[in-house]
Amino acid sequence: MQNKTLTRMDLSEIFTRQFMVPQNKAVFLIEAILDEIFINLNHERMLKISCFGTFIIHQKKQRIGRNPKTGEEAVITARKSLSFRPSQLLRDKINRRMASV
C-alpha cells in the first residue's frame, strides 16, 4: 500500500471539480480553512473539528535527555507538541473502508 500526500493543490482541484468554483477561489477557500485551523491552534490548547477529530497541543517542559549512542546527557528545550485524536465517525469510516478492501 502506498502513502498518499494530499496537497493544497489537490484539495483546490477537488473544490473546483465538486463545487464548480473557479480555481483561484478554491485556493483561497483552502487557505482560509487552514489559516483558521492554525490561528485556533495558536490561541487554544485544543481544537475540535466536528465529525473529524480533535487536535491537542501538549506543553513539554525542559528536561535532561540522553544520547542513546554515547550516553551523553543533553538539555531538551521546552516545546509544544501536537497530537490528533480521530472522532468515532472518522474511525468508523476508516474501518468500513478497510473492511471492504
Tell me what pLDDT residue 57 has.
Answer: 93
How far apart are the C-alpha atoms of 62 and 40, rounded to whole Å?
25
Whether 47 is in a domain gets the answer: yes
Tell me what pLDDT residue 98 has.
Answer: 65
* Number of domains within the chain: 1
Tell me what pLDDT residue 44 has.
Answer: 85
Tell me what pLDDT residue 78 has.
Answer: 96
Residue numbers of the domain that contains 88: 8-100
Whether 21 is in a domain gets the answer: yes
Which CATH number do you get for residue 17? 4.10.520.10
Whether 2 is in a domain gets the answer: no
pLDDT along the chain (101 residues), means of 10: 87 93 94 93 91 94 94 94 95 81 54
Whether 51 is in a domain gets the answer: yes
Burial (Cβ within 10 Å: 0-12, 13-18, ≥19) of residue 53: middle
pTM beyond 0.75: the answer is no
Whether 89 is in a domain gets the answer: yes
